[in-house]
A and B are shown apart, each in its own frame.
Chain A
Amino acid sequence: MIRVEFLGPIQKDALELDIKNLNELATILQEDAEMSEWLTNCAVAVNDTLVSSLEAPLKDGDKISLLPPVCGG
């Protein structure tokens, strides 16, 4: 299973999904009305490393994090 965590202001509980890559996650989240406002501005990390494409394969136990726009300081 792959754990998906929604960080910061996204008010959504973590998901446990049986997916093989980020394309499958994109498909699932694009159908989720709660997430529609976030997908265009969220960055994605796999195991705490930011990724820039959906192609990297996922393996059992991986953690995906969605990071909405930031403003420290």
Chain B
Amino acid sequence: MLSLYDGALDVPTILKDWYAEEATSNYGAYIPFVGTVRSEDGIDGLSFDIYEPILESWFKAWQEKAKAKGAIIKMAHSRGDVMLHESSYIASVFSPKRRVALEFIDEFVEDFKASAPIWKYDLINGERVYALDRSTAIKGSGILAGENN
């Protein structure tokens, strides 16, 4: 399940709903990761753009990987502005045993950071500043630059 929301996530409600959805699915482990906006470098918050068609196909590929391990993943992310101490991201893995879920959440979140088509901006003094220094070029980037670049 991939859910996108305008603005901050309602973390308690989402975690509770996901728990309820799988309450009788016979998973022994439910491991959520919640990403929260921290106060640093004078920012007022963060803002996000998402390209949904490729995010959906990226997530679908991870759903297949989870299925192969007997697990499922659920993910929620914000669009637009998310202010300090609010949350913009939740990823969760449900699996029969804890080891699969612990390892899978790590792999999933790392690839999310490197590959999911989402762009982050710092909100500073009312301006939206692209966080290039914290961003990662998607694998295969640069093919349009030519051989000399």
Contact = CB atoms under 8 A, between A and B. Distances in A.
For this complex, into which size category does the number of interface residues on chain A fall? 20 to 34
A33 interface: no
Contacts of B121: 9
Contacts, number: 117
Given A29-B144, A70-B116, A39 B138 contact: no
Contact of A9 (B54, B88, B119): B119
A30 B146 contact: yes
Interface residues of B, number: 39
Contact of B144 (A7, A42, A49, A73): A42
A51 B143 CA distance: 9
19 contacts: A8-B49, A8-B119, A9-B49, A9-B130, A26-B144, A30-B145, A39-B142, A43-B137, A43-B141, A45-B54, A65-B54, A67-B138, A70-B116, A70-B138, A71-B120, A72-B50, A72-B118, A72-B120, A73-B88
